[in-house]
Structure 1
Amino acid sequence: MQSLRVNGYDMAYLDIGKGPPLVCVHGSLCDFRNWSPVLGPLTTRHRVISVSLRHFFPDHWNGSGHTYSLAQHIEDVIAFIARLDVGAVDLMGHSRGGHVCFRVAQRRPDLLSKLILAEPGGEIDATLDPDYTHAPWPMAGPISAAADAIAKGDVDGGLEIFLTALQVPWKRLPATTRQLLRDNATTLIGDARDERIPFSKSDAESIKVPTLFIGGANTRGLLPKVLHALAAHVPNSRTEMIAAATHAMFEQAPQTYSRIVLDFLEG
């Protein structure tokens, strides 16, 4: 594990393999370890740089202050890539990390060669969704309830609330996965008070780097809707859906996921 001082914060990361640099950004409740299932295949052809966002493991944040936000994470990833000083990189993000990477590509396309978005998290506005109505984000309630439980010390209870809303059975998860989630549980306190800007058609059309969208064919809810709405309007993009997989696609089908990513990066 290494660290890089970025915007007054030490960002921890793993740097493995040789070749063109691929920066990987995890989603909610995860950290740089999240990409472990695909590090083997990806590092055969690429230098994989897997970063932990501000206040995620190995940090042990107590949930206080206002230094946790989507906007801060976007600023941090931009600064992190610039400080790596390796030229343009390929950038890959999953879930909330996919949202971060989308905004990085929107603001600083000069830093990127290609973009990979694995079920990017967020909402889509009326320009992308004809059924859009201004209402609270469906996950806002579960995140708030989970954050309250975690703030009161009931970490497992809070995580179960959050995961149940995503149709993920907490008690059936492997022990190592449950521990990774516990290590990052307090970040849900930050998520509960974060402000999210929905994706728009103009946002999607502004992405200028070649983009790959990856999804799990069995993922339900808002995530596939967001993926396909964005993919329909991002120029020079393609979409790949992994059969029999859900949101944790690179854990469930690491070889397939890696093959899709490598084919895109080398195509």
Structure 2
Amino acid sequence: MPSHPDLPHSQISLPAGDLHYTQAGQGPAILLIHGSLCDYRYWRWQIPALAEESRVLAPSLRGCWPQVGHHPQPGYAIESHARDLQQLVHGLNLTAGVHVVGHSRGAQVAMAFAHLAPGLCRSLTLADPGFRFEDEPEVVPFYTDAVKQLSKGTTEAALETFVDAVNGQGTWHQMVSWFKEMVRDNAMTLLSQIHEANLPVTLAQVRQLRCPLLLMGGTQSPAKYGTRQDRLQQLVPHAQRVRIALSAHGMNLSNPRAFNRALLNFVQTSTEMSALHS
């Protein structure tokens, strides 16, 4: 089984199959949900830092490395991923719940988790969410060209197209080798993801949120991610908002210290508030 030298590998058997994850630390549990073309390795700069104060749990969503499988596949879907994570939390006996963190597409999985299992969601952090709201028109997915390139077998060009679209022109060529390896390992997941590209988040789903909510964005992120946060802040008055300096969409990688500090502060405050109301 492939692994990462600094991230111990674990797996758990769920009704839909094995789920792979890494974990570290003790304390309030934080569940990290990666986005497109990623897996639990994406959180390599978060796990050791957060584990100093918390129990950190980072899964690779079904259909991602180290068990990618053939794509497209029906199990690679927002609702399926959220259900897997609910079962993971139950399977690890985290009865007190988890502080849920979702990045990019992972933010929509996090929203689905909070809706599916509100009693398990102690707080919710959405980092550069990109989902569509139900009252907005459907759009052609920005990664349509990347999917076409993948279908033709031009994987490297497809990944450059995708990564540059979410983080800025020229990003792919500047990325370090471990990140490129991870993205290549998960390239074919886009063939599944394209089928739910316009899956909306309902306004009722957002308004029903009762847990503490943190909205995070990079100061240099594409504007479309900021509009999602603007709308969420309007719909959820109690939401907090943080912008991570000197970073774009991959804010947890480009400025991990600021990202980790903001997240830990939010988790600590949320935990203290929960204790006061218990």
Same fold by TM-score greater than 0.5? yes
State the percentage of identical aligned residues: 27
State the SS of the aligned residue for 2:132.
coil
Amino acid at match of 1:250: N
- 1:164 positional shift: 3.0
Please tell me the root mean square deviation across aligned C-alpha atoms, in Å.
1.7
Rounded Cα–Cα distance in structure 1 between residues aligned with 2:193 and 2:27? 35
Question: Which piece of structure 1 moves more, 231-240 or 170-179?
Answer: 231-240
Rounded Cα–Cα distance in structure 2 between residues aligned with 1:78 and 1:219? 30
State the SS of the aligned residue for 2:122.
strand
- 1:253 positional shift: 1.0
Q: Is the 8 A contact 1:149 1:157 kept in 2?
A: yes
TM normalised by structure 2 equals 0.87
Which residues of 2 match residues 36-185 of structure 1 at below 5 A? Answer: 36-87=44-95, 88-126=97-135, 132=136, 134-137=137-140, 140=141, 142-166=142-166, 167-169=168-170, 170-185=172-187
- 1:257 positional shift: 0.8
Answering whether residue 239 of structure 2 is matched by residue 202 of structure 1, we say no
Q: Is the 8 A contact 1:148 1:189 kept in 2?
A: no
Q: Which residue of 2 aligns with 1:213?
A: 215
Q: Which residue of 2 aligns with 1:26?
A: 34
Change (3 A) 1:196 1:4: farther
Q: How many residues align?
A: 258
- 1:38 positional shift: 1.7
Q: Is the 8 A contact 1:119 1:223 kept in 2?
A: yes
TM normalised by structure 1 equals 0.90
Answering whether residue 17 of structure 2 is matched by residue 9 of structure 1, we say yes
Moved over 6 A (4+): none
Deviations 1:162-203 (A, max 9, x none): 223222521221121111100100001011122543234322
Q: Which residue of 1 aligns with 2:274?
A: none
Rounded Cα–Cα distance in structure 2 between residues aligned with 1:86 and 1:104? 15
Change (3 A) 1:90 1:135: closer
Deviations 1:121-175 (A, max 9, x none): 211243xxxxx4x2424xx1x4232123223322111111222322252122112
Deviations 1:222-265 (A, max 9, x none): 11100121122225321111122211111111111111111111
Gap regions ≥5 residues in structure 2: 1-8, 270-278
Rounded Cα–Cα distance in structure 1 between residues aligned with 2:37 and 2:138? 25
State the SS of the aligned residue for 1:76.
helix
Amino acid at match of 1:118: A
Rounded Cα–Cα distance in structure 1 between residues aligned with 2:183 and 2:123? 29
Gap regions ≥5 residues in structure 1: 127-131
State the SS of the aligned residue for 1:5.
strand
Q: Which residue of 2 aligns with 1:193?
A: 195
